[in-house]
């Protein structure tokens, strides 16, 4: 058995789940949390190599790896390679957003490695399904699309909602769409939904009010514009889908049927000519928002919303 479990990539939720699953594999072992930026690599190595004389080893959960400076990171990489390649009974778990290719290659012989990539659309649905199945829940098929839809494909939000549902269904082990609607409807971010709906159904008062609410809540202008641009691209794709059915098109662009039906609704409101005029404008505002002229981008976006 390999002594190290390395989970890397931008998907923090998936990495967190993988760490929890790994800890559950070794319930008999004691756990020690090591905050690596606060620990000297040499002293850690000495401790790890001598701490099993009268025991069966323990789990070292390595945290805050991403906070390491480059020079210290190299020392830690050498240290981990040394302890993991030695004949000791400890288990080492490392979760990090990024890791160097050289270290990955060196540690591969001694570690189980999984890259945790960002998930979209149907991949998120597959993740939800897998997590519920692992815990023995029976879930109505419509639940997956519903969670994807109201979360706006935010895995962090889905993870939070799944915890609520699991607690509520801990006795019955059954999760229905009705249960989701009862428990999660208040958690929906209506401002985000209202912003998109207001823009794409020509309701300027609704979209402007939602936009100002989002900004007051601390939502970044870049993310708001990115969401609007994403919906614009989806609507353009739908308008040019040809003879594809709604279901086939949704599968092609990796979105839920819930969202596909909304795009279908927007198609009735927005002409293709008008939509084509939006692309460059929104792309320009998104680029402007990344510069020091964010306040200009915000004013122009409000003007865009008012045009309806």
**Cα–Cα separations (whole angstroms), residue 91 to 1, 40, 61, 77, 103:** 10, 19, 8, 16, 18
Q: Report the share of the chain in percent with pLDDT over 70.
A: 95
Q: Which residues face 63 on adjacent strands?
A: 35
pLDDT band per the 50, 70, 90 thresholds, residue 247: confident
Q: What is the pLDDT of residue 193?
A: 80
The count of other CB atoms within 10 Å of the CB of residue 7 is 24
Q: What is the pLDDT of residue 76?
A: 95
Choosing among 3.40.50.10240, 3.40.50.300, 1.10.10.10, 1.10.3720.10, the CATH entry for 4-115 is 3.40.50.300
Give the Cα separation of 113 and 119 in Å (integer): 18
Q: What is the pLDDT of residue 112?
A: 95
Residues contacting 42, CB < 8 A, separation 6+: 79
Is-contact 29 5, C-beta < 8 A?
A: no
Q: What is the pLDDT of residue 225?
A: 86
CATH domain 121-187 topology: Helicase, Ruva Protein; domain 3 (1.10.8)
Q: Over 90: is that where the pLDDT of 226 sits?
A: no
Choosing among 1.20.1560.10, 3.90.180.10, 1.20.272.10, 1.10.3720.10, the CATH entry for 190-307 is 1.20.272.10
Q: Return the structure tokens found at 144.
A: 């997956």
pLDDT band per the 50, 70, 90 thresholds, residue 77: very high
Domain range annotation of the chain? 4-115, 121-187, 190-307
Q: Over 60: is that where the pLDDT of 54 sits?
A: no
Residue indicated by tokens 């979360």:
151
Q: What is the pLDDT of residues 170-184, one digit of tens each?
A: 899 999 999 998 888
Phi-psi domain of 152 (left: phi exceeds 0; alpha: psi -120 through 50; beta: other): left
Give the Cα separation of 236 and 157 in Å (integer): 27
Residue 25: exposure state from Cβ atoms within 10 A (0-12, 13-18, ≥19): exposed
Q: Over 80: is that where the pLDDT of 51 sits?
A: no
- Over residues 252-267, mean pLDDT: 83
Q: Where are the alpha helices (DSSP H) in the chain?
A: 12-25, 41-50, 70-85, 101-107, 121-134, 142-151, 155-168, 177-184, 190-200, 204-216, 221-239, 246-252, 257-269, 272-289, 294-307
Q: What is the pLDDT of residues 81-139, one digit of tens each?
A: 999 988 888 999 999 998 999 999 999 999 999 999 988 888 999 999 999 999 999 99
Q: What is the pLDDT of residue 186?
A: 53
Q: What is the pLDDT of residue 8?
A: 96
Is-contact 236 275, C-beta < 8 A?
A: yes
Give the Cα separation of 94 and 123 in Å (integer): 24
pLDDT band per the 50, 70, 90 thresholds, residue 53: low
């Amino acid at each position: 058995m390999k002594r190290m479990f390395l989970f890397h990539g931008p998907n923090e939720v998936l990495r967190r789940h993988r760490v929890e699953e790994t800890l559950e594999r070794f319930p008999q072992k004691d756990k020690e949390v090591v905050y690596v930026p606060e620990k000297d690599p040499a002293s850690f190595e000495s401790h790890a190599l001598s701490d099993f004389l009268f025991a069966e080893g323990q789990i070292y959960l390595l945290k805050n790896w991403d906070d390491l400076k480059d020079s210290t990171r190299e020392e830690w990489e050498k240290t981990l390679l040394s302890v993991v390649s030695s004949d000791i009974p400890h288990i080492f778990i490392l979760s990090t957003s990024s890791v160097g290719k050289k270290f990955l290659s060196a540690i591969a012989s001694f570690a189980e490695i999984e890259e945790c990539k960002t998930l979209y659309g149907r991949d998120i649905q597959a993740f939800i399904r897998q997590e519920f199945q692992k815990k023995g829940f029976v879930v109505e098929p419509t639940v997956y699309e519903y969670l994807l839809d109201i979360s706006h494909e935010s895995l962090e939000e889905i993870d939070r909602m799944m915890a609520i549902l699991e607690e509520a269904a801990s006795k019955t082990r059954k999760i229905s769409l009705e249960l989701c609607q009862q428990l999660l409807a208040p958690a929906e971010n209506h401002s985000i939904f209202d912003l998109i709906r207001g823009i794409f159904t020509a309701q300027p008062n609704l979209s402007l009010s939602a936009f100002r609410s989002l900004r007051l809540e601390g939502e970044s202008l870049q993310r708001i514009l990115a969401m609007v641009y994403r919906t614009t691209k989806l609507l353009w794709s739908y308008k040019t889908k040809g003879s594809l059915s709604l279901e086939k098109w949704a599968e092609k662009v990796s979105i839920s049927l819930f969202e596909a039906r909304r795009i279908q609704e927007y198609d009735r409101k927005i002409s293709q000519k008008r939509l084509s005029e939006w692309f460059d404008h929104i792309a320009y505002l998104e680029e402007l928002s990344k510069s020091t002229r964010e306040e200009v981008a915000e004013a122009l976006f409000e003007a865009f919303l008012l045009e309806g």
